[in-house]
Amino acid sequence: MIHKILIANRGEIAVRIIRACAEADITSVAIYADADRHALHVKKADEAYNIGPDSLAGYLNAHRIVNLAVASGCDALHPGYGFLSENPLLAEICRNRNIRYIGPDAGVIRRMGDKVAARSAMQAAGIPVVPGSEGNLASREEALALAETIGYPVMLKATSGGGGRGIRRCNSPQDLKRNYERVLSEASKAFGRADIFMEKCIVRPRHIEVQILADTHGNVIHLFERDCSIQRRHQKLIEIAPSPQLDEAQRTWLGETAVRAAKAVGYTNAGTVEFLMDRDNRFYFMEMNTRLQVEHTVTEAITGIDIVLEQIRIADGLPLSHAQADIQRRGYAMELRINAEDPKNDFLPSFGRITRYFAPGGPGVRTDGAIYTGYHIPPYYDSMCAKLTVWALSWPELLNRAARALEDIGVYGVKTTIPYYMEILKVEEFRYGSFDTGFVEDHPELTRYKTSRPTRELSAAISAALSAHLGH
């Protein structure tokens, strides 16, 4: 039985895993770089260990982290998302050191982390993939010739890419010539592998992904889909479950197809199968993420299943707690990623001190945050500082509740994406539940909201100054 888990991550996802440990009576162990000395995950974990002065090196040092897990008496390790979560080496070292890795096998992580290998595995299983190159591209000339057969626009993509990076659309041979070297260099810089491949560009697609759970006894289930079409530069901003753009037949087909995909590669633990849906409602496999995802919270909201607890049970060798037929879905949920960024200034990161934080509340509202009043957001990490997950029985009620929750939450001292999301919630296509991955680019006007309304903090400061002045 797992009784002590090292969390190889930071920020809100570390806090999320610590909460699961607390409910399961498992001791949680946090790690932190010097820059994270005052981070929330350090305060909340049962134990916390410093992993050095560099802001990133410690979080990326698989050997050192597993050593620490062994030395601190842990029997399992959770990788979270980002950092080493899709690095097969971490899973491998865990296996060698007798630490249970809370995720799939190293071999499956390696295979699915290679988008070209993943595509061929899916093709072999009879699952439709986006039309594209058979393998990696050997040269620019090969790319140009292939694009003629596929037809423009095409996408150049880093084979081991992630986080929306290393992806470029090419509308013409000129574009392709220009972008070829760029994507190649992005791929080698960001992912340490100068391999790229080509896909047909699906014009104005919807990004629909399926959450799956697989145990080590051969049981695989799905927890329905998430619609992640609201993205900026291939990075998700808002995620919705279930997708308001699917009918029941499509939903069933997609869930079953994702289960088939997971079975085809011998998948275990939690994972996500990502698809693109084109304008003729055809689905294409895009990639598989072999880890817990940022947006898992919307799936938890509509199914009531704690995905992190299920991950731990699976790693413990237990069978899934639920059979497919028992999975119920209720209402709609939306996650809004609260990023410390200035939407008015091209979403420039806005790090610094949180002068005030008011958590939102009320029915159907959940926050997963890493911030508190007085916390300094360090400039070295991702700008996402909290996630707001809202649930309601119906889509129209969800829209109202999300707007209310965005009014309710208060993050002061840094710029955030909160006011921008308030604008998105007013847009008709969004409200009708009809949007694609071009939404953000199509609506540049949404960043031009008024900021003249005095913030609650400012009005509080004014009244405090006034009463001091009046001698109250």
Q: Which of 155, 187, 238, 277 binds ligand ADP (CB under 6 A)?
A: 155
Least Å from the CB of residue 202 to ligand ADP: 4
Contact window for ligand ADP (CB under 6 A) among 51-59, 227-235, 443-451, 463-471? 227-235
Question: Count of residues binding Mg ion (CB under 5 A)?
Answer: 1
Least Å from the CB of residue 445 to ligand ADP: 21
Beta strands 27-32 and 4-7, pairing class: parallel
Contact 31, 77 (CB under 8 A): no
Contact 48, 33 (CB under 8 A): no
Closest CA to 381 of 83, 85, 37: 83
Interacting residues of 15 by C-beta distance below 8 A, sequence separation 6+: 40, 41, 44, 368, 369, 370
Least Å from the CB of residue 274 to Mg ion: 5
Counting contacts by CB under 6 A, is residue 245 touching ligand ADP? no
Counting contacts by CB under 6 A, is residue 162 touching ligand ADP? yes
- What is the three-class DSSP state of 195? coil
Q: Which of 111, 207, 222, 226 binds ligand ADP (CB under 6 A)?
A: 207
Of residues 240 through 299, those in contact with Mg ion by CB under 5 A are 274
Phi and psi of 236, rounded to 5°? Answer: -70, 140
Of residues 10, 119, 168, 291, which has the active-site annotation?
Answer: 291
Torsional class of 83: left (φ above 0), alpha (ψ -120 to 50), beta (otherwise): left
Of residues 187 through 206, those in contact with ligand ADP by CB under 6 A are 191, 199, 201-202, 205
Cα 371 to Cα 215: distance, rounded to the nearest angstrom = 34
Closer CB to ligand ADP, 207 or 366, in the complex: 207
Counting contacts by CB under 6 A, is residue 227 touching ligand ADP? no
What is the DSSP code (8-state) at residue 98?
A: T
Cα 350 to Cα 344: distance, rounded to the nearest angstrom = 11
Least Å from the CB of residue 189 to ligand ADP: 11
Counting contacts by CB under 6 A, is residue 163 touching ligand ADP? yes
Contact 466, 472 (CB under 8 A): no
Query: How many CA atoms within 13 Å lie on the side-chain side of 176?
Result: 26
Instruction: Give the x/- contact pattern for Mg ion in 149-188, rule: CB under 5 A.
Output: ----------------------------------------
Cα 321 to Cα 270: distance, rounded to the nearest angstrom = 13
Of residues 104 through 143, those in contact with ligand ADP by CB under 6 A are 130
291 assigned to active site: yes
Least Å from the CB of residue 154 to ligand ADP: 8
Beta strands 384-392 and 332-339, pairing class: antiparallel
| Site residues (vs Mg ion, CB under 5 A) | 274
Residues recognised as catalytic: 291
| Site residues (vs ligand ADP, CB under 6 A) | 81-82, 130, 155, 161-164, 167, 191, 199, 201-202, 205, 207, 231, 234-236, 274, 276, 286-287, 293-294, 382, 384, 437
